[in-house]
Amino acid sequence: MRERGWDAVDFVYVCGDAYVDHPSFGCAVITRLLEAHGYKVGIIAQPDWRDPASVSVFGEPLLAFLVSAGNMDSMVNHYTVAKKRRREDAYSPGGTIGLRPDRACVVYGNLIRRTYKRTPIVVGGIEASLRRLAHYDYWSDSLKRSILLDASADLISYGMGEKSIVAIADALAAGLSVKDLTFIPGTAYRTRDVGHVYDPVILPSFEQMQADKLRYAQSLKLQMDNLNPFLGHPLVEEYPHGVFVVQNPPAEPLTTEEFDAVYELPYMRTWHPSYDAAGGVPALAEVKFSLTSNRGCIGDCSFCALNYHQGRIIQARSHESILAEARLLCEDPDFKGYIHDVGGPTANFRVPACQKQLKRGACPDRRCLSPEPCKALRVTHADYLKLLRKLRALPKVKKVFVRSGIRFDYCMLDPDPTFLHELVEHHVSGQLRVAPEHISDSVLRVMGKPSRAVYDRFVGEFERVCREVGKEQYIVPYLMSSHPGSTLSEAVELAEYCRDLGFNPEQVQDFYPTPATVSTCIYYTGVDPRTMQKVYVPKSPHEKALQRALIQYRNPKNHDLVREALHRANREDLIGYGEQCLVRPAKRRRKPSSGK
- Residue 124 is part of a domain; what is its CATH number? 3.40.50.280
Measured distance CA(39)–CA(170) in Å, rounded: 9
Confirm whether 190 is domain-assigned. Answer: yes
Which one, of 203, 245, 239, 194, lies nearest residue 223 by Cα? 203
pLDDT of residue 591: 62
> Which amino acid makes up residue 224?
M
Confirm whether 65 is domain-assigned. Answer: yes
Q: Give the domain extent around 552.
A: 482-585
Q: Compute CA distances 327 → 109, 251, 394, 465, whole Å.
A: 40, 31, 8, 31
- Domain count within the chain: 2
Residues 430-452 as b/e (b if ≥16 CB within 10 A, e otherwise) read: eebebbbbbbbebbbbbbbbbbb
pLDDT of residue 507: 73
Confirm whether 359 is domain-assigned. Answer: no
Measured distance CA(399)–CA(397) in Å, rounded: 6
Helix, strand, coil tally for the chain in percent (to 5): 35, 15, 50
Confirm whether 302 is domain-assigned. Answer: no
Q: Compute CA distances 493 → 34, 256, 408, 550, whole Å.
A: 52, 44, 21, 9
SS3 349: coil
Write the DSSP assignment of 137-189 as a string of letters: ETTTTEEE--HHHHTT-SEEE-TT-HHHHHHHHHHHHTT--GGG----TTEEE
Query: Which residues does residue 271 pair with via DSSP β-bridges, in sequence order?
Result: 20
Q: Compute CA distances 283 → 262, 270, 326, whole Å.
A: 21, 11, 19
pLDDT of residue 596: 47
Confirm whether 149 is domain-assigned. Answer: yes
For 592, counting Cβ atoms within 10 Å of its Cβ (0-12 exposed, 13-18 middle, 19+ buried), the class is exposed
Alpha helices in 1-50 (DSSP H): 26-36
pLDDT of residue 504: 82
Measured distance CA(54)–CA(67) in Å, rounded: 14
Kindly report, residue by residue over 459-508, the tens digit of the pLDDT: 999 999 999 999 999 998 999 999 999 999 999 999 999 999 888 887 78
pLDDT of residue 505: 81
Confirm whether 172 is domain-assigned. Answer: yes
HSE (CB half, 13 Å, CA atoms) of 163?
17
Residues of the chain with pLDDT under 70: 589-596
Boundary residue ending a domain (210, 225, 247): 247
> Which amino acid makes up residue 217?
A
Measured distance CA(18)–CA(284) in Å, rounded: 11
Boundary residue ending a domain (213, 247, 281): 247
Confirm whether 459 is domain-assigned. Answer: no
Phi and psi angles of residue 161, each rounded to the nearest 5 degrees, phi first: 90, -5
Calculate Rg over the CA atoms of the chain. Answer: 25
Phi and psi angles of residue 375, each rounded to the nearest 5 degrees, phi first: -65, -25
Boundary residue ending a domain (228, 247, 266): 247
Phi and psi angles of residue 252, each rounded to the nearest 5 degrees, phi first: -65, 150
pLDDT of residue 589: 66
Region of 295 please: left (phi>0), alpha (psi -120 to 50) or beta: beta
Confirm whether 213 is domain-assigned. Answer: no
Measured distance CA(288)–CA(22) in Å, rounded: 8
Write the DSSP assignment of 46-104 as a string of letters: S--TT-GGGG-TT-S-SSEEEEE--SS-HHHHHB-TT-PBPS--TTSGGG-S-SS-TTH
Which one, of 188, 172, 183, 164, lies nearest residue 63 by Cα? 172
For 453, counting Cβ atoms within 10 Å of its Cβ (0-12 exposed, 13-18 middle, 19+ buried), the class is exposed
Neighbours of 423 (CB within 10 A): 22
